[in-house]
Structure 1
Amino acid sequence: MSEPVPLPFLRSTPSLPESPWAPLGSLPLTVLVGVTGVGKSTALQALQEARSGLRILPDRREVTDAVMIRPLAGGPVTDREQRFRLTAEYRAAHPGGMAQALGSLQADTTHWGTSPVFDGLRGLDEVQYAASTFPSWRFVALGAPDAVRVRRLLGRADAFDRVQTDTPAADVRGSLLAIPGVRAVFSPSELGDLAVLTTEGHSPADIVARARIVVSERQNYDPQAAEAFLQTLPRSRALLLDTVALNPGQVAQAVREWAADPGSDDSGSAGLQVEG
């Protein structure tokens, strides 16, 4: 008997499904790929516009809470860095990470339809697992430099973008340099640029908190490796977008055109869209 999970019209899959339930791994999902602040919301809106009646599955955060965080922590966790630690613990036992968690669920297709969208996957392990294990899934990958992502996180005012930090107003750069692993993610000049974001009205604590989120994500996921792998897939399965080279309107147009033509297949090359 399948077990319920605290997600609407979804359940775990230890047994064979009966109609109208179907494993998500068997459905032709469209999956957004990218770390925080790369512009997935724009792509998601474009997909909704391109495909009338499209259903959006509970997002990564909700699936993480239901399948990973709550079982490990015994309750909700809001601190981003603690969540990264718990999801890393889950991945140690489940190498496919979020892809494996999502694929372990059954969906009621009378509610979700037969080709829903999921936001999203991160890193090489998740993407590689998803592409090889679920051949009907398609991927829209979005990328942006880490320093740009910090700026975007500062601008979006999401209550979820929180970590515990104590940043002296007089030493933003020093606080940035004190983030474990920060030098592997940001160059000295990028750290200098982040430190002076206080002149644009951002608080030192917010700047350091967003930088810590980006560093923590990079320590757990490798966006460049995921994109390199997706470039080996045919265009019918993978669309890669640079959300700095492309403005939001161009991102939306590229996604709509790709979603509207699922049969196109330039074998061996992904749809890398870069326009000035």
Structure 2
Amino acid sequence: MTDRLQEGTGWTGDAARSERRVRDVPVVVLVGVTGVGKSTVLGAMRDLGVPFTLLPDRRAVTDAVMIEPFVGAPVTDREERFRLTAAYRQAHPGGMAEALAALRVPNDAEVLLFDGLRGVNEVTHAARHLPLARFVALTAPDFVRVRRLLGRGDAFDAVEQADTAATAREALNAIADVRDVFDDETLDALARLDVDSADLAAKTRIVVTERRNYDPEATVRVLEGLPSERALILDTVRYDAREIARRVMEWL
């Protein structure tokens, strides 16, 4: 696993210098589900000059460790990726945190930063098995997350779309388990967004499917149980990316 992780993620550290494992070094871990603003905050941190070495991100590690070794090819559909990572967790309860702990890093790296962990199992495993890790959790309501996914134009946000001429509300109603995440008032608000109905349904499905696998509120409660010097929790609706970056820099 570790060889594939090193070679398959685009990590360019010199192997001769990569003698430490992440579990043995200080690392800052971003925690948050899709659409909370992790990438935007990372950009703001760079703009403010926060020194950090970015490790291979969650997508790259997922491909190298959890998907391609078993499927033999890349998988782009977000729902299928959630299914495959859930299967990986059956054998590795710590999920992404287990893969992160095994990653080798250069001895001379600055502040190491990983984007990112999500879910109770991952942060619990990381808190226990990465004793030098510190966590920055970003939060946002599910409605906001859908709206951000609609606006960010990321090709990674792909799911198989149904060929239907349904109205926006009908398309939302057809999503399995949608009412486990959104009440009728919020679904009405989503349906009023001036966007393509199929795209709206696709992005909403990503949020709903992710919530089946990861509970953001329960994850935050785990982090709230850590000492304040180990966990910083920030609302990306209350604070813009630059303010969050400033608070992270002060906390570090």
Alignment TM-score, normalising by the size of structure 2:
0.92
Tell me which residue corresponds to 1:267: none
Q: Check conservation: 2:29, 2:116, Cα contact below 8 A.
A: yes
The 1:101–1:136 alpha-carbon spacing in structure 2 relative to 1, beyond 3 Å, is: same
SS in 1 for 2:138: strand
Distance 1:157 1:91 in 2: 29
Tell me which residue corresponds to 2:203: 210
The 1:24–1:239 alpha-carbon spacing in structure 2 relative to 1, beyond 3 Å, is: same
Match for 1:118: what amino acid?
A: F
Distance 2:18 2:85 in 1: 31
Distance 2:11 2:189 in 1: 46
Tell me which residue corresponds to 1:34: 32
Match for 1:132: what amino acid?
A: R
SS in 2 for 1:141: strand
Worse overlay, 35-44 or 245-254: 245-254
Match for 1:3: what amino acid?
A: D
Aligned pairs for 1:116-265 (under 5 A) are 116-166=112-162, 168-197=164-193, 200=194, 202-259=195-252
Tell me which residue corresponds to 1:269: none
Deviation (angstroms), 1:29: 0.7
Distance 1:98 1:210 in 2: 23
SS in 2 for 1:78: coil
Q: Which of 58, 69, 72 is the equivalent residue of 1:71? A: 69
Alignment TM-score, normalising by the size of structure 1:
0.84
Deviation (angstroms), 1:90: 0.3
Distance 1:250 1:203 in 2: 32
| Aligned-pair Cα RMSD in Å | 1.9
Distance 1:223 1:247 in 2: 20
Q: Deviations over 1:206-243 (max 9, x none)?
A: 10000000001100001101101111111111100011
Q: Check conservation: 1:24, 1:105, Cα contact below 8 A.
A: yes
Q: Percent identity?
A: 52
SS in 1 for 2:191: helix
The number of aligned residues is 247
The 1:9–1:196 alpha-carbon spacing in structure 2 relative to 1, beyond 3 Å, is: closer
Deviation (angstroms), 1:9: 4.1
Distance 1:243 1:20 in 2: 34
The 1:114–1:257 alpha-carbon spacing in structure 2 relative to 1, beyond 3 Å, is: closer
Tell me which residue corresponds to 2:8: 6
Match for 1:203: what amino acid?
A: D
Tell me which residue corresponds to 1:270: none
Higher relative contact order (CA 8 A, sep 6+): 2
SS in 1 for 2:233: strand
The 1:240–1:30 alpha-carbon spacing in structure 2 relative to 1, beyond 3 Å, is: same
Deviation (angstroms), 1:178: 1.4
Match for 1:156: what amino acid?
A: R
Deviation (angstroms), 1:44: 1.7
SS in 1 for 2:104: strand
Q: Please, which runs of 5 or more residues in structure 2 have no aligned partner?
A: none
Q: Check conservation: 1:46, 1:256, Cα contact below 8 A.
A: no
Q: Check conservation: 1:28, 1:114, Cα contact below 8 A.
A: no
